[in-house]
Chain A
Amino acid sequence: MPVRLLSGSIFFLQLTVALATSSIKVGEVDPLSGGVSQFGIGCHQGYVLAFEQINAAGGILGQKIELVTEDDQSKPGQSATAVRKLITQDKVVAILGDATSSATLESAPIAQSDKIPMITPTATNPRITDVGDFIFRVCFLDEFQGRVLARFAREKLKAQKIFTLTDVKQDYSVDLLKFFKDEFTSLGGSIIGEQSYSTGDTDFRAQLTPIRVARPDAVYVPGYYQEVALIIKQGRQIGLRMPFIGCDGWANQALIAIGGKAIDGCFFTNHFSPDDQTPVVKSFVTNYQQKYGAMPDTFSALGYDAARVLAEGIRRAGSSNSQAVRDAVSQTAGFQGVTGQISFDAKRNASKPGLIVTVKDGRFEVAEKIPP
């Protein structure tokens, strides 16, 4: 027995030595179970694909990248615990995540105080990169998508009068409305009415009835796909023919699965479209489909980009020292990702292009590319 124990521990010793010399550890924290697990799983699949490709091509600095994954269970408090574990126990070089703004705001201060670079793929809340100089994000901010859509509605859709319908339970929705309204009125349009609803509602006819009376040119609904699909469907049923326009919270196949034909002719801002014909997107979509047997969504695309921006940073830093990696990542400029060219500004936010996506015959299609 003592002999076996001894040989066992020697084996472990060798293993850890071997790992320490041959791999760079990158941590991940995402909601892989619970309410917003769809978001976390998307990001996770993006990271895994990116690192597999990099490792297959020989890794970075002669070493392989090893992803250490932690699940925050979509619960408040878990993201911070997971990040603390990744830093103190797993001794990761950098962290990817979290998928949602509230969870990222919770764990980012820990990464910042321990000086470990953290890149969130998808958290759009403005306050996130205010946490400190080790926190980055590869998606655009809510202000950008609110303003871009207002300009699109005014100039391309020639809308004069817009009615809005906001989800009062989501800060995301309330903030977007503010940015949209600001830009739209400054371009000479007018908001002729505002209504609101709450996450989880399924009957929107009470709000839609006054819209029918007001006859706006378009209806702005910054919200999540689950409610939006029903809003548009019920709106069409009572005879609203104008386009509904919205934000990246719409970007899920369920929008079309639930809304059906009603969604045709609507527009929303998004980070990524699998129908994009640029070579980098085409090869990403092919590889993703080969590995997972499904089309990539916005979350997997942003996850893929976040992982590659980090890997590129480590390569340019020439070492896996966290401070050096942070400095190198902050220099990222013109990086060709599947969600467009990524450059970090002084506040470590990605300044990058956005897309206006439309729905045609039950398929998402790119209507316009918006430069940063």
Chain B
Amino acid sequence: MDKLIEVLQQLVNGVSLGSIYALIALGYTMVYGVLRFINFAHGDIYMLGAYSGFLLAPLFAQTFKFGEFDTFTPENTLFILCGAGLVMVLSMAICAGIGVLIERIAYRPLRERPRLNVLITAIGVSLFLQNMTQYRLGADPKAFPQLIPVHVVEGLGNLTILTSQLAIIIATVILLIILRFVVMRTKLGLAMRALSLNPTACSIMGVNNDIVISFTFALGSALAAAAGILVSMDSPSINPLMGNLPGIKAFVAAVLGGIGNIPGAALGGLIIGILETFVVAIGFPQWRDGIAFAVLIVILLFKPTGILGRVEREKV
């Protein structure tokens, strides 16, 4: 029984970690879908999301009494969620803006150039964001303010699920449903899908490709920012290089699910998160970071299109 609980426990830990990777992976996959290039600065948008929250939270600390509640009660739950939600939505908006700006300044001028140019530019943007944050806000780790009280959810027996883990999982599910709606049911979503099939035909049909691409960047960056805030609620220490590793692992997740495929990115993120947790749990913590890349190698060797990806024939 104890063993079963422990496995279940680690599964919960894995799903909450995987949700974060899933949210970041979506940005990689959507940008790849419309532009066929990997935006390596995406992990740093996740970092900027956490820093936006860090800078925004003090502005609302008084109104929403951040850090003053020790537990959730039926009376204060809605109030707390409003405060945390507000900080999260504002951070998402800020990062959506930054994402659009990066695309406009750094990537758009290179759109007709060889794809390698823009790929290298993306690495440059990533370094710029990391070093600019270190320069402006300091390289030392900062304590993230407490947006929601973190404690064990009552009534689950020996299974400990923290409110912060629950918040990650629920917020991810909500964001995925919203994303699904946007992509499948709105005109912009339709344009995104059309653009990923054939950009030239898309613009001939009267779609403004620039707007659709900007929108894609905004959407992806907002999701990464949400991931940054959610992670910081759970592990409240942030630093300018925090986006590096999660960014690359989320990229692996996107490839694993089939790059360009939205449900695939979410699935890939969950798989990487769960794998990582179990690798540590069975006693190989050194392999925590290695496992994601081992998966990348295996997937590239045996199923380069990923789990849900479909084979695309290059047109001659």
List A residues at the B interface (Cβ < 8 Å): 34-35, 37-38, 168, 195-198, 200-203, 205-207, 209-210, 213, 226, 229-230, 233-234, 237-239, 254, 257-258
Contacts and interface: CB of A to CB of B under 8 A. Distances in A.
Given A237-B152, A254-B141, A258-B141, A203 B235 contact: yes
Given A38-B140, A168-B285, 11 more contacts: A197-B288, A203-B13, A206-B277, A206-B280, A206-B285, A210-B6, A230-B235, A233-B236, A237-B151, A238-B162, A258-B143
A201 B288 contact: yes
A262 to B, nearest CB: 10
Interface in B233-254: 234-237, 239, 241-242, 245
Contacts of B285: 168, 195-198, 206-207
A240 to B, nearest CB: 11
Nearest to A261: B70
B150 interface: yes
B143 A257 contact: yes
B140 A258 contact: no
B139 interface: yes
Nearest to A37: B139
Contact of A196 (B2, B231, B278, B286): B286
B289 interface: yes
A195 B2 CA distance: 19
B282 to A, nearest CB: 9
Contacts, number: 75
Interface in B263-310: 277-278, 280-281, 283, 285-286, 288-289
Contacts of B139: 34-35, 37
Contacts of B209: none
Q: Which 10 A-B pairs have the closest CB atoms?
A: A206-B280, A202-B235, A257-B143, A258-B143, A205-B13, A258-B237, A196-B285, A206-B281, A226-B141, A238-B160
Contacts of B143: 254, 257-258
A215 B141 CA distance: 31
B9 interface: yes
Contacts of A257: 143
A208 to B, nearest CB: 9
A209 B162 contact: no
Interface of B: 2, 6, 9-10, 13, 17, 139-141, 143, 150-152, 160, 162, 231, 234-237, 239, 241-242, 245, 277-278, 280-281, 283, 285-286, 288-289
Q: Which of B152, B234, B239 has the most CB of A within 10 A?
A: B234
B237 A202 contact: yes
Contacts of B237: 202, 226, 229-230, 258
A200 B13 contact: no
Contact of A202 (B2, B151, B231, B286): B231
A238 B150 CA distance: 10
Q: Which of A205, A207, A234 has the most CB of B within 10 A?
A: A205
Contacts of A233: 235-236
A202 B242 contact: yes
A209 B281 contact: yes
B28 to A, nearest CB: 20
A48 to B, nearest CB: 21
Given A37-B139, A38-B140, A238-B160, A258 B236 contact: yes
A209 B245 contact: no
Contacts of A200: 241, 245
Given A196-B286, A198-B288, A239 B236 contact: no
Contacts of A239: 152, 160
Contacts of B278: 206
Contacts of B242: 202
A37 B283 CA distance: 34
7 contacts: A34-B139, A168-B285, A200-B245, A201-B288, A206-B280, A230-B235, A237-B162
A226 to B, nearest CB: 5
Contacts of A229: 237
Given A37-B139, A196-B286, A254-B140, A209 B235 contact: no
A37 to B, nearest CB: 7
Contacts of A206: 10, 13, 277-278, 280-281, 285
B168 to A, nearest CB: 11
A55 B103 CA distance: 57
A74 to B, nearest CB: 9
